[in-house]
Amino acid sequence: MKILVACEFSGKVRDAFIAQGHDAMSCDFLPSEGVHRDRHYQGSVLTLVPSKAWDMLIAFPPCTYLCSSGLHWNKRVEGRQAKTDDALKFVSTLLNADIPMIALENPIGCISTQIRKPDQMIQPYEFGDDASKRTCLWLKGLPKLEPTERISGRMVNGKERWSNQTDSGQNKLAPSETRAKERSTTYDGIANAMANQWGKLHPLELIGR
């Protein structure tokens, strides 16, 4: 299949699909990392989405102006609501692209209230990674991801905490220039599950779903 991975600089999902024999390309304004850096378009995904050549689109739009943790700033910072509105228009464009299979990933936020609720919520620890980061998936023509391996967290006062969390449940990453980049990188287990499970599908099999 021909697969476009939007808003991905790490190359993790792209490389996972290529390892399964698919023709995958990533796209981001940042240069690519990962193994197949030659399979990367540096620029706007909106220049690629109109093409009907793609069988699948997996998108990771920036969550800065979409996630619940930052929405309170919209009433305090002039111009920030407009950026949220633009981000929602971008998400809508991706979800409505003329591509048979689409998955869009983002944290809990205003996509759920302004566009539609997610089809699934997943955790890295359900896919073999020692980390907690609740993530929403909006799906079109794709089944929900099946968990592959649950990693148990350490117990703190009767609650599970994973390696990326403090005992109180906060993310351990301290503020830095690379914090947003590190937090937006897809976990290996989820990337491999997408490639292993969705890579076995074919657009013709999904007609009528």
Tens of pLDDT, residues 37-71: 999 999 999 999 987 889 999 999 999 878 888 77
Determine the length of the chain.
209
Structural domain that includes position 87: 2-201
Distance CA 207, CA 128 (A): 32
Looking at residue 95, which CATH number applies to its domain? 3.40.50.150
pLDDT value, residue 181: 61
Instruction: Name the domain count of the chain.
Output: 1
Distance CA 181, CA 175 (A): 11
Residue 208 falls within a domain, yes or no?
Answer: no
Q: Which residues of the chain have pLDDT under 50?
A: 206-209
Residue 207 falls within a domain, yes or no?
Answer: no
pLDDT value, residue 209: 42
Residue 184 falls within a domain, yes or no?
Answer: yes
pLDDT value, residue 160: 94
pLDDT value, residue 173: 67
Residue 18 falls within a domain, yes or no?
Answer: yes
Which strand (E) or helix (H) includes residue 16?
helix 12-19
Nearest to 105, CA basis, from 82, 71, 68, 134: 134
